[in-house]
Amino acid sequence: MMQIRLAGIGGQGVVLAGVILGEAAAIEGLNVLQTQDYSSASRGGHSIADVIISKEPIYDVMVTRADVLVALHQLGYDTVKDELREDGLLIIDTDLVKPDREYVGAPFTRIAEETTGLALTVNMVALGYLVAKTGVVKKESVEEAIRRRVPKGTEEINIKAFMAGYEEGLK
């Protein structure tokens, strides 16, 4: 079982990234649960998506001890950092999060702007990086999930951002 938590602020597409990761796991026939927690503000408040992926039945209803934490913003990181396992994997946007522990990461928002011209594709960049680093699902499954879940006409731009993050994660 892998417990993954994505944390950022409203507007970064954190929940959509969680849904797409979950959908990718479902496509592979894995058991998966996805929940979210966000403040009532549509932009600016904390936004968290939990994804639990397992070959076994999942009884948990939220991430209680994350194996992986992806932090896209300092506010999101500060809100949930204590729930990352001591030997868990911390992935951050290195421009926006100043962590107080070991981490990996890249300037996801900057990569998003440079790759697609749209900072809001940061969620796909981070998702690509996560998938490359953990191998929790195949990248082809994520591409399929992106096609199913993003608004029509934005599939290619989202996949481009995802691939940019994936390549970065392989470095």
Partner 1 sequence: MRYPFPVGKSDFIQGDEAIARAAILAGCRFYAGYPITPASEIFEAMALYMPLVDGVSIQMEDEIASIAAIIGASWAGAKAMTATSGPGFSLMMENLGYAIMTETPIVVVDVQRGGPSTGQPTLAAQGDIMQAIWGTHGDHMLIVLSPSTVQEAFDFTIRAFNLAEKYRTPVVLLTDAEIAHMRERVYIPSPEEIELVERKLPASEEEAKLPFGDPHGDGVPPMPIFGRGYRTYVTGLTHDERGRPRTVDAEVHEKLITRIFRKILDHKDEIISYEEFMLDDADVAIVSTGIVSRSAIRAVKILRERGVKAGMVKINTIWPFDFDYIEQLAERVGKIYVPEMNLGQLYHLVKEGANGKAEVELIAKIGGEVHTPMEIVERVVG
Footprint of partner 1 (CB under 8 A):
19, 22-23, 25-27, 29-36, 58-62, 64
Question: What minimum distance in Å lies between the beta carbon of 72 and partner 1?
Answer: 20
Cβ closest to partner 1, residue 9 vs residue 111: 9
Question: What minimum distance in Å lies between the beta carbon of 9 and partner 1?
Answer: 18
Question: What minimum distance in Å lies between the beta carbon of 158 and partner 1?
Answer: 17
DSSP state of 58: -
Cβ closest to partner 1, residue 27 vs residue 132: 27
Cβ closest to partner 1, residue 24 vs residue 111: 24
Residue with tokens 């999101």: 76
Q: How far is CA 167 from CA 29, 115, 171, in A?
A: 25, 12, 7
Helix H or strand E segment including 37? strand 31-38
Cβ closest to partner 1, residue 145 vs residue 163: 145
Helices marked H in 10-154: 14-27, 74-80, 108-116, 122-134, 139-149
Q: How far is CA 167 from the centre of its chain?
A: 15
* Cβ 42 vs Cβ 107: under 8 Å: no
Question: What minimum distance in Å lies between the beta carbon of 135 and partner 1?
Answer: 20
